[in-house]
DNA sequence: ACAGGCGGGACAACCCGTTAAT
DNA sequence: ATTAACGGGTTGTCCCGCCTGT
């Protein structure tokens, strides 16, 4: 489990992502995106000004505006980055056991456990962004595409694992996870932690296709 | 079912809540809270200025500041109001069948169906507010208390209905509902609609205590 | 001549238009327009910020933006005001001698003398604005309409005075006046002063309609 | 007349002055001045940033700042260039008929006709610059010297052509031309076109020195 | 008590001219 | 010679209190 955590951590952020020593050798665009992720996640999108982002990224407003032609575009890039990271986690889980859907399911639940246990005290950054951004904001499309992709990937996984109703099961699992993360924001940290047991029960008890397949 | 809808509707909003004809005969404080609810829900809290609220409430900033000594206090009152309305819905459901937990469960699911089907295109207003507000904001306490209350009420209801694991079932139901509503914001309207079937299946299949206990 | 000057002066600005004592009892919108006229004329439109205007108008940006929803709109109002004042000068000249075109011509030349001699060290404010503003700026239409109106009014006046070629003479007079004022900006103050003699000669020598009228 | 146009055109701009193919083989300083002339004339001086100039000149800001130590200095160079070009036009006209002032006058009016007819949709670039620049700007001196020179050259020309009042006639002609060009900016394109006829009439009718010369 | 305009300071996003580092 | 850095300045909006009249 320690290994698992280290793996996941290294995928997303190593230690303190705003540590000047970490940022110093990165190109400005990277620094800006890292700073955005951190500040947007901690404080939300609206309350964070471009100046604060530039400062946290060890640069200045002008450089920020050379790389992103507006704050809105930065927000889009920020959401795109988050989505790509989420996809990367999924890909890593899949590639680890390409021929064993059971293991992939287990690995995903372990990832969920990591997420609700150790990180993301403010829930899902993309869901939060969707809440803050107006419906017509271009970043919304990025978020919606990501969420739809996640659900479809779960469907495929449950189908590969010969679940009888892959769509239904995927929806259930997806909504439980989403609900757990939004509940973190609403004080339900304890409830979010219980979601892991729910998911394990659900995976164990949901009906499979045929006994033959199980063997 | 028509009656149900009418009931819920009348609890929350009658026709167009910002219709001047509706607001005119209400005291200013009520008008301001109604306007806040509408604007905050549609656009979020940060993007809506006090001036816009005052205008929609057919009054002016001065009056607003006489009733709420700051925008933050208005936000608290707004969340308190939303919580009270949610509680009222619950109470109404409970009082309709005080001695029949089965009927109460059914009624609650029907209410959920109404919510995800007909209204709240932007998910749960309180969850959205929690996302927008900083952790130290006083309104967060109101929201967290409300969400905890909801979960506990579900636990009690499941216990009354002799479910074997009332906490577990309540959590599951709660998270599914929360997940469904946050998914509305993330483009998962279709998925949110499927939550109703999930809930009905779950209620039907979750293990009850024993037939002996029912008698 | 003293009377003339006083008259013209009172039409446009009395003493120092930015004197706080003068501004104090005026409504904010008036103060802002007066401050705009003064600052825009002295420094041009681009170099003057809204903050400086608000300050000179003894108010602040917020009040300015309550009366004009953008700087561009303020510029339009400013140009409209200048045009109205120019029209008022013309009207006053006309109403003073409604039945004597000769006197009106003389009065107009006297006004020109006043303008190039005593005021407007930076030429015609509207022409300057036209130079500074992009062709698509809405204020440009105001300026062009004003200039066209001035030329047409001169044509009518020359026709009433029985000049043989009223259009030609009006154009000539108009262009000389315009040229004189733009030359002020280009160091040709001395040349501008000579325009008065040119105009008087031109009016005296341009051919009239009938010999009888000439006596 | 086609030859005339070609001549004048080749003096000032050949086809599209910002065509990369035209600029490519020029030294950077030339490219920058050409780009400045085009952009400053089309949009004015204030709205055009150094970055845009560098880009249009197929170079970068750093190179620009190696050739001109500030934007203000570039503006001075720009105005100096415009003045030199104007002088070159005048010299060419003069050198074409060094001993025939009548021809020179005619040629100059033809040039004026070309200017107000075919080019300079935004009037005189130097006059526009004078309007935009503060009185203390060093480029103003360049502009004023140029305009004064133009007037003096006209005086000399009228004296050489034996006009009775060369100063007066020169002023008149000068102001008409200036007025025509500023009027282009103010919507008076039609009026500007009529200035050519005025000038021809004026030259034909203004009194000459001795009857002997005329015969 | 309500209505409304006015005032004020802070801060948002965005862009400028200019210089330094690489 | 390109990219980054920098400080200051732009327009525009925020929340909030004052100060009139009803």
Q: Which of the four pLDDT bands, split at 50, 70 and 90, describes residue D34?
A: very high
Q: Which of the four pLDDT bands, split at 50, 70 and 90, describes residue B120?
A: confident
Average pLDDT over residues B128-143: 96
- Weakest mean pLDDT among A29-33, A187-191, B41-45, B137-141: A187-191
Average pLDDT over residues A62-90: 96
Q: Which of the four pLDDT bands, split at 50, 70 and 90, describes residue A184?
A: very high
Measure the CA–CA gap between B140 and B128, rounded to whole angstroms.
Answer: 11
Average pLDDT over residues A194-205: 93
Beta-carbon count within 10 A of B1 CB: 8
Measure the CA–CA gap between A51 and C212, rounded to whole angstroms.
Answer: 80
pLDDT of residue D100: 93
**Sequence-distant (≥ 6) Cβ neighbours of residue C60 within 8 angstroms:** C54
Contacts 24+ apart (CB under 8 A), C113-119: C113/C196, C114/C4, C114/C5, C114/C8, C115/C8, C115/C181, C116/C180, C116/C181, C116/C184, C116/C192, C116/C193, C116/C195, C116/C196, C117/C193, C117/C196, C118/C5, C119/C12
Nucleotide closest to residue C68 (CA–C1'): F12
Helices (H), C68-137: 71-96, 101-118, 125-132
User: Is pLDDT above 70 for B116?
Assistant: yes
pLDDT in tens, C130-152: 999 999 999 999 999 999 999 99
CB–CB of B187 and A151 under 8 A? no
Average pLDDT over residues A48-60: 94
- As given in the structure block, the two tokens for residue C111 are 């006004």
User: Is pLDDT above 70 for D1?
Assistant: no
D39 at interface of C, judged by CB pairs closer than 8 A: no
CB–CB of B175 and A183 under 8 A? yes
Nucleotide closest to residue B53 (CA–C1'): F15
D71 touches strand E (CB under 7 A): yes
Classified as helix, coil or strand, B208 is strand
pLDDT of residue A151: 96
User: Is pLDDT above 50 for D17?
Assistant: yes
Between B209 and D85, name the one with better pLDDT.
D85
CB-nearest partner of C131 from D174, D185, D188: D185
CB-nearest partner of C147 from D171, D177, D187: D187
CB-nearest partner of D131 from C132, C175, C197: C132
Q: How far is the CA of A51 from the C1' of F7 (A)?
A: 13
pLDDT of residue C35: 95
pLDDT in tens, A126-173: 999 999 999 999 999 999 999 999 999 999 999 999 999 999 999 999
pLDDT of residue C2: 39
Q: Which of the four pLDDT bands, split at 50, 70 and 90, describes residue D8?
A: very low
A54 touches strand F (CB under 7 A): no
pLDDT in tens, D101-137: 999 999 999 999 998 888 778 999 999 999 999 999 9
Q: Which of the four pLDDT bands, split at 50, 70 and 90, describes residue B187?
A: confident
Q: How far is the CA of C213 from the C1' of F18 (A)?
A: 69
Backbone angles phi, psi at D163, to 5 degrees: -70, 150
pLDDT of residue B212: 58
Task: Give D52→chain C minimum CA distance, Å.
Answer: 17
Nearest to A16 by CA among A41, A47, A1, A38: A38
C50 touches strand E (CB under 7 A): no
Residue C188 is given by DSSP the state -
B120 touches strand F (CB under 7 A): no
D138 touches strand E (CB under 7 A): no
Query: Please, are residues B123 and A175 in contact by the beta-carbon 8 Å criterion?
Result: no
Q: Do chains D and B touch (3 or more CB pairs under 8 A)?
A: no
- As given in the structure block, the two tokens for residue D70 are 């500030």
pLDDT of residue D91: 96
pLDDT of residue C212: 57
- As given in the structure block, the two tokens for residue A168 are 């239904």
- Weakest mean pLDDT among A58-72, C17-31, C47-61, D120-134: C17-31
Average pLDDT over residues B93-98: 92
User: Is pLDDT above 50 for A10?
Assistant: no
Measure the CA–CA gap between C1 and C110, rounded to whole angstroms.
Answer: 9
pLDDT of residue C160: 95
User: Is pLDDT above 70 for D14?
Assistant: no
B49 at interface of A, judged by CB pairs closer than 8 A: no
Task: Give C215→chain D minimum CA distance, Å.
Answer: 23
Average pLDDT over residues B114-132: 90
Q: Which of the four pLDDT bands, split at 50, 70 and 90, describes residue D211?
A: low
DSSP for B50-115 reads HHHHHHHTTS-HHHHHHHSSSHHHHHHHHHHHHHHHHHHHHHHHHHHSTT-HHHHHHHHHHHHHHH
pLDDT of residue D15: 66
Among positive and negative, which fits the CA dihedral A192, A193, A195, A199? positive
pLDDT of residue A148: 96
Q: Which of the four pLDDT bands, split at 50, 70 and 90, describes residue B4?
A: very low
User: Is pLDDT above 70 for C14?
Assistant: no
CB-nearest partner of A179 from B128, B168, B178: B178
pLDDT of residue D7: 43
- The residues facing D208 across adjacent strands are D163
Average pLDDT over residues D157-179: 95
pLDDT in tens, C55-110: 999 999 999 999 999 999 999 999 999 999 999 999 999 999 999 999 999 999 99
CB–CB of B172 and A176 under 8 A? yes
Q: Which of the four pLDDT bands, split at 50, 70 and 90, describes residue B149?
A: very high
Interface size A-B, in CB pairs within 8 Å, comes to 132
CB–CB of B175 and A171 under 8 A? no
Between A71 and D9, name the one with better pLDDT.
A71
Mean pLDDT of chain C: 89
- Name the residue with the least CA to C1' distance from nucleotide E3: B60
Indicate which of D174, D175, D192 best probes the interface with C, i.e. most C CBs within 10 Å of its own CB.
D175
pLDDT of residue A163: 95
User: Is pLDDT above 70 for A57?
Assistant: yes
pLDDT in tens, C161-182: 999 999 999 999 999 999 999 9
Find chain A residues with C-beta within 8 A of B134's C-beta.
Answer: 43-44, 47
- The residues facing C163 across adjacent strands are C208
Q: How far is the CA of C142 from the C1' of E21 (A)?
A: 50
Task: Give D205→chain C minimum CA distance, Å.
Answer: 12
Q: Which of the four pLDDT bands, split at 50, 70 and 90, describes residue D43?
A: very high
Q: Which of the four pLDDT bands, split at 50, 70 and 90, describes residue A15?
A: low
Q: How far is the CA of C25 from the C1' of F11 (A)?
A: 28
pLDDT of residue A215: 45
Mean pLDDT of chain A: 88
pLDDT of residue C178: 96
Query: Please, are residues D90 and D72 in contact by the beta-carbon 8 Å criterion?
Result: no
CB-nearest partner of B172 from A178, A187, A198: A198
CB–CB of B147 and A186 under 8 A? yes
Nearest to A173 by CA among A104, A84, A98, A126: A104
DSSP for A154-185 reads HHHHHHHTTBS-HHHHHHHHHHHHHHHHHHHH
User: Is pLDDT above 90 for B190?
Assistant: no
pLDDT of residue A168: 94
User: Is pLDDT above 50 for A4?
Assistant: no
Q: Do chains B and A touch (3 or more CB pairs under 8 A)?
A: yes
pLDDT of residue C4: 41
pLDDT in tens, C1-10: 334 444 444 4
E chain positions with any atom within 7 Å of a protein CB? 1-21
Distances (CA, A) of B187 to A91, A127, B62, C20, C166: 23, 10, 39, 58, 72
- The residues facing B208 across adjacent strands are B163
Average pLDDT over residues B196-207: 92
pLDDT in tens, B155-174: 999 999 999 999 999 999 99
User: Is pLDDT above 60 for C129?
Assistant: yes
Mean pLDDT of chain B: 88
F chain positions with any atom within 7 Å of a protein CB? 1-19
pLDDT of residue D11: 45
């Amino acid at each position: 489990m320690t290994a698992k955590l280290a793996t996941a951590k290294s995928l997303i952020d190593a230690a303190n992502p705003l540590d000047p020593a970490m940022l110093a050798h990165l190109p400005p665009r990277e620094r800006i995106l890292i700073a955005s992720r951190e500040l947007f996640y901690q404080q939300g999108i609206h309350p964070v000004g471009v100046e604060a982002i530039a400062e946290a990224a060890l640069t200045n407003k002008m450089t920020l505006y050379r790389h992103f032609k507006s704050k809105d575009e930065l927000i889009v890039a920020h959401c795109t980055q988050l989505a790509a990271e989420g996809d990367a986690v999924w890909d890593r889980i899949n590639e680890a056991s390409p021929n064993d859907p059971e293991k992939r399911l287990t690995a995903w639940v372990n990832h969920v456990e990591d997420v609700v246990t150790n990180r993301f005290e403010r829930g899902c950054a993309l869901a939060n962004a969707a809440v803050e951004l107006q419906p017509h904001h271009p970043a919304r499309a990025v978020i919606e595409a990501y969420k739809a992709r996640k659900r479809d990937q779960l469907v495929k996984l449950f189908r590969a694992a010969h679940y009888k109703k892959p769509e239904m099961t995927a929806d259930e699992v997806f909504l439980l996870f989403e609900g757990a993360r939004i509940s973190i924001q609403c004080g339900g940290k304890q409830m979010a932690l219980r979601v892991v047991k729910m998911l394990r029960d659900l995976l164990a008890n949901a009906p499979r296709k045929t006994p033959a397949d199980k063997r």
